[in-house]
Amino acid sequence: MTDGGHGPVIETAEVFGAHRAGDLVSLTLIAPEIAEHARPGQFVAARVGDESSAEVLRRALFIAAATTGGAHAGTVTVVIAPRRAGSRWLAGRTAGDRLDLVGPLGTPFPLPSGPSPAVLVAHGYGGGPLSWLAQTLVAQGSPVEVVLGADTASELYGEQPAKRIAERVTVLTTDGSAGRTGPTTDAVSDAIVRLGAEVVYASGPAAVLRRVGELAQEHAIRAQVAVEAPMACGIGVCLSCLLPARVGDGGFRLVRACVEGPVLEAGRVRWGEFA
């Protein structure tokens, strides 16, 4: 597998558009330098607040799409679940507003060196980075199946783009308000077998990632997962994002999710302590 990546830059991005889908808000931001180097699985760290109210800590936002070229030279899209004060402020930005971003940050999803069947699993706004990854894999000739889940229909993201490119899309919600009723991971084993998958990629809460890792192990395939950890700086300085993971010598140590991750092999993470 290969990956990509490039050192981060600081960029003042203009909001090109804001779109609400259920309980989620996606922002498309004009940020040509970040867009040029971003890869699926990476994130940006956004400053929260204006000049008079800016918070010291930034918010980490997975990049859900990046375009290069076109009338605005380059854009990145992020998906926000406006649950707390900072994310609500970000979700309230509208066209023409400016956001201070650092990115692209973190390790991207490693891509196969050639066509390779892959199952992609996302819960909630984790559908953002997975949609972009699906497009990248399909463009490389890999068949993909997508499993999208959420607690409820209004928190689903990425169903329509996935349906345009995936061999099959399975939707599940915990409360049964869309698709099948049940946890996101209920459909993963069937998808792995049906597609003959060689790898699973996942994005979402730790419990979902942990279960995806277990299922991949049962099928003797790899699982690459994008972890969500509290990230105050995004550049490896503050140590707010530590998680226990196996390292090269087989032992465990605390690694920084923002630098060594957010994408990690699921089997490396000691999920009981992380969750």
Q: Please state, in angstroms and rounded to a whole number, the distance separating the CA atoms of residues 215 and 115.
A: 22
Q: Would you tell me which residues interact with ligand FES (CB under 6 A)?
A: 231-234, 236-241, 256, 258
16 or 274, CB closer to ligand FES?
274
Dmax (CA) for the chain in angstroms is 54
Tokens 């999803």 belong to residue: 109
Using the minimum distance from each CB to ligand FES, give the nearer residue, 200 or 258. 258
51: Cβ contacts below 8 Å, ≥ 6 apart: none
Give the distance, in angstroms, between the CA of residue 23 and the centroid of all CA atoms in the same chain.
Answer: 17
Q: How far apart are CA 263 and CA 24, in angstroms?
A: 23
Smallest gap from residue 60 Cβ to ligand FES (A) = 7
Q: How far is the CB of 103 from ligand FES (least distance, A)?
A: 13
Q: Which is nearer to ligand FES, 182 or 230 (CB)?
A: 230
Closer CB to ligand FES, 9 or 229, in the complex: 229
Shortest CB 45 distance to ligand FES, Å:
8
| Beta carbon of residue 252, minimum distance to ligand FES (angstroms, whole number) | 18
CB of 58 to ligand FES, least distance (A): 9
Q: Which is nearer to ligand FES, 169 or 232 (CB)?
A: 232
Nearest residue to ligand FES on Cβ basis: 258
CB of 108 to ligand FES, least distance (A): 16
Q: What angle do CA 41, 43, 46 make, to 5 degrees?
A: 165
Q: Which residue has the tokens 């010291």?
A: 56
Closest CB to ligand FES among 174 and 240?
240
Classify 132 as helix, strand or coil: helix
Distance of CA 130 to the CA centre of its chain: 6
Cβ–Cβ < 8 Å for 186, 172? yes
Give the span between the Cα atoms of 1 and 109, in whole angstroms: 10
